[in-house]
Amino acid sequence: MYADLHIHTNYSDGIYSPKEILSRAHNANLKKIAITDHDNFSGSIEASKILKKSDFSLELIPGVEFSCSDGIEEYHIIGLFIDFENHEIKNLISKMQIKRYESIKKILNFLELKDINLSFDNVISYSKGSIGRPHIALELLNKGYVKSVNEAFEKFLSNNHIKNIKEPRMGVLEAIEAIKKSNGISVWAHPNINSSDFYEKINSFKEFGISGVEVHSPRYGLNRQKELLKICNELNLVTSGGSDFHGMHEGIEISQSNAISKSEFDSILKLAKSS
Ligand SMILES: [Zn+2]
């Protein structure tokens, strides 16, 4: 197999640096990868600078994964071949970062009521790109309130009040349109084919202008891949996929078995060039 188009770094919720991701992809003998951190491009930009100085025969596709909602449900939309300099998409990234800051402040205020005093500046200092609850967990660990990140989640960050402070999402339509305006290809990441409104959603996302669907993912069995492939063919959507590697889930690696074929990649590339 050829290309892994869904990888996270420590610029969102992955644990490895862009440099480590590049060497893992090189060792897996992949030809193309996309770093698709949540709501930010910083890891991908850093990786492209490192790649230019390296002798890896690997191409980096500019990517991102947007956290979205449609109604009450959460969806993830991947953007590939994005122009990172496009104003529309840069504005969307800044808007999301401000919303993420607001939700972090709400959680810190709630913790303060429980006599847990954490500094907002310290929390954001852990984040290289998009900020989230793992960075609060790190500060809880740093201040000695807990002995591990897991304990921080179990003890402080999983109660219902905090769960109700939702991480910010953008609309699916908003994400698809911004990706399109930045000359990118939008892909529905890891869709749940078993959900009762799957067909309704895929049709409505297609109307919104989505270009493709992740068909290859370590989360799926072969049957589910076949079913998704058939649906994509019927709806004339490109097929994408990747490991969704974060570095912390057992058995999920950047590898040939979690990648897409050259012909699938070429179809995405062709579409990107024509858009
Ligand atoms: Zn992901």
61 strand-pairing partners: 34
Neighbours of 99 (CB within 10 A): 16
How far does residue 272's CA lie from ligand 1's centre (Å)?
21
Do 93-164 and 3-85+170-274 fall under one CATH topology?
A: no
How far does residue 93's CA lie from ligand 1's centre (Å)?
16
DSSP 8-state secondary structure symbol assigned to residue 245: B
pLDDT bracket for residue 219 (50, 70, 90): confident
How far does residue 146's CA lie from ligand 1's centre (Å)?
27
Q: Are 8 and 243 in contact (CB under 8 A)?
A: no
Using DSSP's 3-state secondary structure scheme, residue 170 falls into strand
pLDDT of 105 strictly over 90: yes
**CATH of 93-164 among 3.30.1490.70, 3.40.50.300, 1.10.150.650, 3.20.20.70:** 1.10.150.650
As a whole number of angstroms, the distance between CA 59 and CA 22 comes to 10
Q: Which residue has the tokens 């004339």?
A: 236
pLDDT bracket for residue 44 (50, 70, 90): very high
Please provide the average confidence, as pLDDT, over all residues in the chain: 93
Q: Are 11 and 130 in contact (CB under 8 A)?
A: yes
**Torsion angle of C-alpha atoms 39, 149, 14, 240, degrees rounded to 10:** -80
Sequence spans of domains, the chain: 3-85+170-274, 93-164
Residue 160 token pair: 């219902």
The answer for residues whose C-beta is within 8 angstroms of residue 218's C-beta and 6 or more apart is 243, 244, 251, 252, 257, 258
pLDDT bracket for residue 94 (50, 70, 90): very high
How far does residue 6's CA lie from ligand 1's centre (Å)?
6
How far does residue 120's CA lie from ligand 1's centre (Å)?
26
- What mean pLDDT do residues 88-112 have? 92
239 strand-pairing partners: 213
How far does residue 36's CA lie from ligand 1's centre (Å)?
7
CATH annotation of 3-85+170-274: 3.20.20.140
How far does residue 108's CA lie from ligand 1's centre (Å)?
26
